[in-house]
Chain A
Amino acid sequence: MIQFRDGFYADIRIEDRSRTVISYKAGALEEMRNRRERQAFLRVYDGNLWYYASVTDVDHLQKTLDGLYAAASENPRILGDPVVRRFEKNRDSISNFADCSVRDVPLKEKQALLLSYLPLLEEDSCVALPEGHYLDRNSQFRFLSSLGADIAYDYQTCGLAFSFSMAEGGKKFSGHWQKGGTRFDDLQGLTEAIRGAVREQTYFLRNSVPVEAGKYPVVLSPEAAGVFAHESFGHKSESDFMLSDESMKDEWQLGKAVGSPILSIAECGSVPGSGFVPYDDEGTKARRNYLIKNGVLAGRLHSAATAAALDEGLTGNARAIDCTFEPIVRMTTTYIEGGGLSFDELIAPIEKGYYIKTIRHGSGMSTFTIAPALAYEIADGKLGRPVQISVITGSVFETLGLIDGLTKDVELLSFVTGGCGKMEQMGLPVGFGGPYVRISSMNVQ
């Protein structure tokens, strides 16, 4: 039983994490491990400074907590501190995966599933280096605070990731495909999807042509649109960037027009998948937050400290990649809301442009960049040849204003590799997605 002291705010976050990694390369087993880690992150706040400790000895947390108390200064008015006043005092227990935990699936069964798909990578002779990975994670979280919060919840992802470097007649291409889910059963029955992805990418290797650099209309797939939303505007909505420069509050006033009137970007931690965060790492309950609503700046993402500094409400976005780090303002699942068109209607008016189907990576500041993997020409309203594009770039605000078409259908995606990086905390699991999005002009290289 943890004993919290008066005169301080304190919280403790404990994670019991199980991870499985099974990897094959060129038909040979490369890795097979099941890691189990228990760690805790403790915070004490005295109204002036935060004191943090990360420990692996979760059986003696009181001693670590007492050490942090000793470093801090007692503050009789701590409960009136604007940050402390914002903390929620939730008490809840959520168990979504008790009956389907990947911890209960034998390692051999996971290995057999992966092995069943590997031959699909070698059906075409141009695949030079096939690689396959099975990855899963099950975490049991517990959060306790000196204000009385007591939350337990579980988190689970599992998935398959394949890469297949191809070479033929001097042409090279790195093929990729992955499927993320939350239950082991989600990974069954993927044969045709994997075969189709390999075939499409071998065709790309053989037939893709270099793009002619310039400015063109561009259509983004839900994957590319999700990355665009995350990189172009999601990071800008993380309020910790607003704390150092007072003038940011004027620049980023809610209600300001920031994009096309058809554009709405939302963010929510309660969406099932890799960005599922029912309570953030400060114990704040997830809720849906609009970042942009009908082209207008509608909200931003907060921790308790940023919400207090900007005198706004909590959003449930204080997250850390694990119990090594303190929570900072991060995204969960970020997506563009749908419009009213079908895909065919979306591309119909484009005489010459490009469709970005999959991406390698994206990043964004005032200028955003997306590095496409699979891309196709759009000619006279129809999809055409595969094209090689190194990057598409643009000014964030200019591009947000140039969105002129959205499909009805929205797809939200989960992932088991990669993740979001922010300064020292890399690889945070997030979700993203959206409809197919048409942008009237982008810089294509």
Chain B
Amino acid sequence: MEKEFIKKTEHSVTLNVTAGKIDSFRELEKTTGTVRVYENGLIGVAGCLGEPDEEKLTEQAKEALGFGIPYPCRPEGALELEKHQDEEIIPIPAFIPTMQAFLDRLGELCPRFALSHKIRLEDDRTEYRNSAGRRLVSTGRSISVELLAQDRGSGNLFDTFLVWGGDHFDADELLSYFKMQYDAFCTPADLAPGRYPVVAQAESLYGSFMQHFVGDLYAAGASLLSGKLGEKVFSDKLTIRDDMNPSTACGTCFFDAEGCVAEDCRPVFVKNGVLTGLVTTKKTAEQYGLPNLGSADAPYDGVPGIGFHRLYPEPTAQSLKDLVPGKAVLAVVSSGGDATPDGHFAAPVQMAYLLEDGVLKGRLPQLNISGDFFGMFGKDYLGAVHNDPVEGEMLIAVKMDVDKI
């Protein structure tokens, strides 16, 4: 019988902001434990909330073998690796005064904005061990500022986001980043309907298509990509990874739920336009003869399933200006888009900026954007760039049809 043991501890302190003022302080500490056992091609899982009793969980996991859940895989082989990102960002006693001072300065810089929502410090620790000799430990700390901005008098629930995340806090840098957005927000801009580069976070344009990268669907022939593994189907410029690398994905655990560690901690699904992998677990990879890239996820008491952390399109340009010279649309809030079964994508863009030579010029009216799956990843894909100063966040650019709502 083979065995895996996983212990996770999540600690967070979250401040709620209403009308630019902090009105609550929430501290959360959550520990979970997991034991998985493997025998005769079956898996048994047991988990607990709170400090794990490994012996007790092991007995429960052995009992769960009786459910007869097939999982004909062996845990990963011997490897000892630790990655720690645990430098203190802000001492907890200083968190409220530091962030209230920041909010006060932000309020002065952006007087039209009524600000609300959350500011959060997180530190997590994940430990994985298995009977094959693998022992992995990952710790990560991060801070995130997630503010909803209402343009006073607009009557809207919110008009835009001011969002940032990283592993250090530099108030001046962040204020400058938010002020740049505020100035553009306050400047009306317009754009004639047509075909333009649309710049956005990868998830907002590609999220609707991620199901086509799922191994089960691929193997069943129900994915738009079925049969194309190893083939060049997209633009040469397109390399897509799942980002589990703490240097860009702050606070992220560098291994997956089955203790797999991808090269550079970023499993590669598309490399220079060639489909190189699908989203799998060890089981589905084995079952369908697909490469296991190492991006599984699992509840603390459940069988591993597919997971996806954060899209990391490999950068192709040094700056937004290099990526999209001339006029482009920066889509900041795009909620509700989806694709038809044959891959036609359409989405409303509730908040967008006009870009000219990579510089924010003004706020555009609400837009519709549309394209199709192979075009958006293929001939219409323009590339990706780091969204400085948001640590690790990538923006992609895709040529799309743009119309006003």
A-side interface residues toward B, CB under 8 Å? 21, 25-26, 28-33, 35, 37, 39, 49-54, 56-57, 71, 128-129, 165-167, 171-174, 205, 208, 210, 235-236, 240-241, 243-248, 251-252, 324-326, 360-371, 388-391, 393, 395, 423-424, 443, 445
Contact = CB atoms under 8 A, between A and B. Distances in A.
Contacts of A51: 24-26
Interface string B298-312: 000111010000000
11 contacts: A30-B305, A35-B301, A71-B25, A128-B221, A172-B342, A210-B340, A240-B116, A326-B16, A388-B344, A390-B344, A393-B348
Interface in B21-54: 22-28, 30-31, 45, 47, 49-50
Given A33-B302, A243-B116, A365-B158, A445 B346 contact: yes
Nearest to B344: A390
Given A366-B366, A367-B366, A29 B67 contact: yes
B26 A245 contact: no
A423 B117 contact: yes
B18 interface: yes
Interface residues of B, number: 69
Contacts of A21: 302
A82 to B, nearest CB: 14
A50 B25 contact: yes
A53 B26 CA distance: 6
A79 B316 CA distance: 60
Contact of A362 (B23, B25, B211, B336): B336
Contacts of A57: 50
Interface in B305-356: 305, 333, 335-342, 344-348, 350
Contacts, number: 190
Contact of B30 (A54, A369, A370): A54
A245 B82 CA distance: 47
B222 A166 contact: yes
Q: Chain A's interface: helix, strand, loop or mixed, by majority?
A: strand
Nearest to B10: A324
Interface of B: 16, 18-20, 22-28, 30-31, 45, 47, 49-50, 64, 67-70, 114-118, 146, 148, 150, 152-158, 211, 216-217, 220-224, 226, 301-303, 305, 333, 335-342, 344-348, 350, 366, 368, 370, 405
Contact of B336 (A236, A244, A369, A388): A369
Nearest to B349: A367
Residue from A244, A370, A443 with most neighbouring chain B CB atoms (10 Å): A244
A395 B347 CA distance: 14
Contact of A32 (B28, B69, B115, B220): B69
A71 B25 CA distance: 10
B301 A50 contact: no
Contact of B223 (A26, A172, A251, A325): A172
Contacts of A54: 26, 28, 30
Contact of B335 (A25, A26, A365): A365
Nearest to A55: B29
Contacts of A172: 222-224, 341-342
